Amino acid sequence: MSDEDERQIGPGRNLGFNSSPASADEGESVNQGLFDDLLSGEPIFENKEVLRPSYTPHELPHRSDQINKMATILVSALRGETPSNILIYGKTGTGKTASAKFVSQELESTSSKYEVPCDVEYINCEVTDTQYRVLAQLANKFIEENERRIEDRIDRLESIRESILEGAWDETLPTDGSTHAGDRGRTDGNHSTGTDAPAGTDASTGTDAPAGTDASTGTDASSGDRFSPRNSDSPVETKGSKGPKASETEGRTSTHSNSDNLENSGTKPSPQTSSSSRNPPLDHPLADTPFSSLAELEAQIDGLLEDRDAFEEVPMTGWPTDRVYSVFFDAVDYAERVVVIMLDEIDKLVEKSGDDTLYNLSRMNSELENSRVSIIGISNDLKFTDFLDPRVKSSLGEEEIVFPPYDANQLRDILQHRSEIAFEEGALSPDVIPLCAAFAAQEHGDARRALDLLRTAGELAERSQAETVVEDHVRQAQDKIELDRVVEVVRTLPTQSKLVLFAIILLEKNGVRSINTGEVFNIYKQLCEEIDADVLTQRRVTDLISELDMLGIVNAIVVSKGRYGRTKEINLSVPLEETEVVLLSDSRLSEVEEVQPFVQARFDS
């Protein structure tokens, strides 16, 4: 194919399958795509994700004391007991959330290892910031978990039913040791191998079962599950969300059990027929279950299906809050388990919705029959409990853990630990990590800021196709992060604050320095008229200027004018052009982009 043909076809396309090496070399420059140049350099990152806030490391330097304290409090959940509620305090970037998530992962992992029912649910209250949303999210998570457990249980029971029907077994469990009519030479010993099972062995596995234990599970049959608060030999009421009661279906056993019981339910004889009285054939599918007949097993399946169908997902809006709480309560209490609810940014929830949510969650253990609930609250505000009801404060703050800020040396250790995973070997110059740690230590020891700084420096180096990250990249990253912070703050300002800030920008663009409040108010009024917004009083505009000063967007200094009183002299503290672009991205303010005439008219007056 000629070069002319290839140009007509377009770069990167080939109509033939037998291109020669020479023709491939000739077309290499033509086939060069948009990203090929960017990919041509050596990569700097090996795993960038470890530098992001969402990453939970396997090791948290300088937080072992706090982690161990959390573990000693939560270990009671592994004994089936209710852990104390925990409040975790500390400034942004001190490792609170990462440490709590690390401990919760270890807790769930250990609970699976020992088959102890324990669930941890995480909610970010900065996003889920109302009582309705918190309860709805929790309710839906537990409904989903309950439905999964019910499906697993139904699958196991249906497997037993199929074995009975396909193997032509008697539908009622015999008590005289006889086998079904279609017995194929199996003995009463070991039905899986056809060999006799020695006395004291589990017929299903052929392994020794200690005296006094349930042969199918190895647990103490006389005492039930060692982690269960109650012996599950006796039927109990089903507690699904409006689920049917056990008494409504004759012979139906409880579906109201912990995860261990859900896994091994069917290992103990039913109350109606004890194992000592019926002596069933060990190879019958119902032998190691609490069911004495196929009808009982099918009734259990029907009951589980009713429970599953009774659960109703909570919509994110529209229901009365008490109905949402009722559904959440029933979903949690459906099975025996210990539940740890982790509320990150808990102070945001209290600011937005008051302490009703915390009151309900901290008091519900007195009403729960089967599950137990513990709360972990995480807050940046050390004084947020001052606004809580005394009853909530006493029950919620049973244990308190404070995370102090990191110093520069600790931040250096954290960055060094993460950088070994995040970057290729030799990608960082020696002065990069100390500089990142020093910058972050100046801002109250924020590890999140240090990690962002290191990641951004690496990205800037990668974009410039540099082989290593150097000090200059860190300084560029510091400027970029600061600008990004300003952009985010300006973007989320209320409309009235944006109008006041836009008035200051217009005055500075027209050469006015040391702007006073009256000048800002005059331009602000014209902007409000332009977009048909309500005009606030000058006193309120002065308050908005003070808020912008607190955010670091403007610098407002009160000066005395002698007999003319005092006024504020205002100057912009952020880049003018970038700030203006952010303001004009607001659909309402974009209408007043061309306001030069009336600004000029204000100067001429």
116-132 pLDDT, tens per residue? 999 999 999 989 989 99
What would the pLDDT profile of 166-194 be if each residue is shown by its tens digit? 887 888 877 654 444 444 333 333 333 33
pLDDT at 411: 94
What would the pLDDT profile of 371-398 be if each residue is shown by its tens digit? 999 999 999 888 888 878 888 888 887 8
What would the pLDDT profile of 397-448 be if each residue is shown by its tens digit? 789 999 999 999 999 999 999 999 999 999 999 999 999 999 988 877 889 9
Q: Say if domain 493-604 classifies as CATH 3.30.365.10.
A: no
Q: Which residues fall within 8 angstroms of residue 55, CB to CB, at 6 or more apart?
A: 49
Residue ranges, CATH 3.40.50.300, the chain: 64-144+320-403
Q: Does the pLDDT of residue 77 top 60, yes or no?
A: yes
Give the pLDDT band (50/70/90) at residue 582: confident
Give the helix ranges, DSSP H, for 404-494.
Answer: 408-422, 432-442, 447-463, 471-491
DSSP letters for 183-198 = --S--SSBTTTTBPPP
CA trace torsion 348, 353, 357, 362 (10° rounding):
60
Class of domain 406-488: mainly alpha
pLDDT at 368: 94
Query: Which DSSP letter does residue 398 get?
Result: S
Beta strand extents in 512-585 (DSSP E only): 515-516, 554-560, 566-572
Neighbours of 153 (CB within 10 A): 22
Q: What is the CATH number of domain 64-144+320-403?
A: 3.40.50.300
CA distance from start to end of the chain: 74
Find the mean pLDDT for residues 255-271.
39
| Whole-number CA gyration radius for the chain | 34
Distance CA 466, CA 41 (A): 8
Residue ranges, CATH 1.10.10.10, the chain: 493-604
List Cα–Cα distances, 142 to 146, 236, 333, 356, 364, in angstroms.
Answer: 6, 20, 9, 21, 16
Using left for φ > 0, alpha for ψ between -120 and 50, and beta otherwise, residue 122 falls in beta
Burial of 440 (0-12, 13-18, 19+ CB in 10 A): buried
Find the mean pLDDT for residues 277-281.
54
| Number of helical H runs and strand E runs in the chain | 22, 8
Least reliable range by pLDDT among 178-182, 356-360, 364-368? 178-182
User: What residues form DSSP beta bridges with 570?
Assistant: 515, 556
Yes or no: say if 433 and 415 are a contact pair by the CB < 8 Å rule: yes
pLDDT at 599: 44
Which string of b and e fits 219-252 if b means at least 16 CB within 10 Å?
bebeebbebbebebbebbebbbbebbebeebebb
